[in-house]
Amino acid sequence: MKDLEAVETRLGRGPAAAEKAVLEKLAEALMSENPVSSAGLAPEELAAISAHNFISTKPVVAADAAELAEPDALLLRAFAESGWISFLTVGGKENRAWPIRAGSTAWEAAGSIHTDIQKGFIRAEVISFADLVECGGETQAKRAGKLRLELKTYVMQDCDVVNFRSGK
């Protein structure tokens, strides 16, 4: 496996103690034919080896023949299992879904649209997609009190409908 070769090469070059411990743990997992993604590494250990871009750290989505018959559903599952979510912006001439990593904050989501919005971030007006559909639209959801004002630390949820208030 290519990842095992890379680990052995790096170990042969005398890495720092912290990196060496992680690489030895990886070598053991890879020799047992386990991918890097299932080696049970802590976040700080993953950070220590992130520069190596191991192939087996990439997410894998297995699908059977029945799932291949529904490509849209398979694509959505692969998107979610890869650690991505979408938030929506509506209004004006364009309605759009924006992909972001799961766990991203409102401030980070604003930056995915434009850095000027991120720099001038004041608040995020958020309505869940389920509330938007249930109420019959954005105006009705606002009247029903479903609109929330969130700070930059708000963790975005999949399919949040957002309007960013920006000062610049």
Say whether both 25 and 85 belong to one domain.
Answer: no
Task: Please check whether residues 149 and 111 belong to one and the same domain.
Answer: yes
CB 107 within 8 A of CB 118: yes
The number of domains in the chain is 2
Task: Go through the chain and tell me how many residues it has.
Answer: 168
For residue 74, being part of any structural domain is answered with no
Residue 76 lies in a domain: no
Same domain, 53 and 98: no
Q: What CATH number is associated with residue 89?
A: 3.10.20.30
Residue 158: predicted pLDDT: 96
Final residue belonging to a domain, choices 21, 42, 57: 57
pLDDT digits (tens, 9 = 90+) for 121-130: 999 999 999 9
Give the pLDDT confidence score for residue 50 in this predicted structure. 77
In angstroms, rounded to a whole number, what is the distance separating the alpha carbons of residues 5 and 101? 30
* Residue 70, domain member (yes or no): no
Shared domain check, 162 and 87: yes
Do residues 161 and 97 make contact, with C-beta atoms less than 8 angstroms apart?
A: no
Same-domain status, 46 and 98: no
- Residues 85 and 150 both lie in one domain: yes
Pick from 60, 51, 59: which is nearest to 6 by CA? 51
Given a cut of 90, is residue 149 above it in pLDDT? yes
Task: Look up the pTM and report it.
Answer: 0.72
140 located within any domain: yes
Please, are residues 67 and 47 in contact by the beta-carbon 8 Å criterion?
A: no
44 with 104, same domain? Answer: no
| Chain-centre distance for alpha carbon 8 | 30
CA dihedral 38, 40, 44, 48 (to 10 degrees): -50
123 found inside a domain = yes
Predicted pLDDT at 120: 96
12: containing domain: 2-57
The more confident residue out of 52 and 153 is 153
Residue 65, in any domain of the structure: no
Give residue-wise pLDDT tens across range 1-45: 688 888 888 888 887 788 888 888 888 888 888 888 777 788 888
Q: Are residues 48 and 96 in the same domain?
A: no
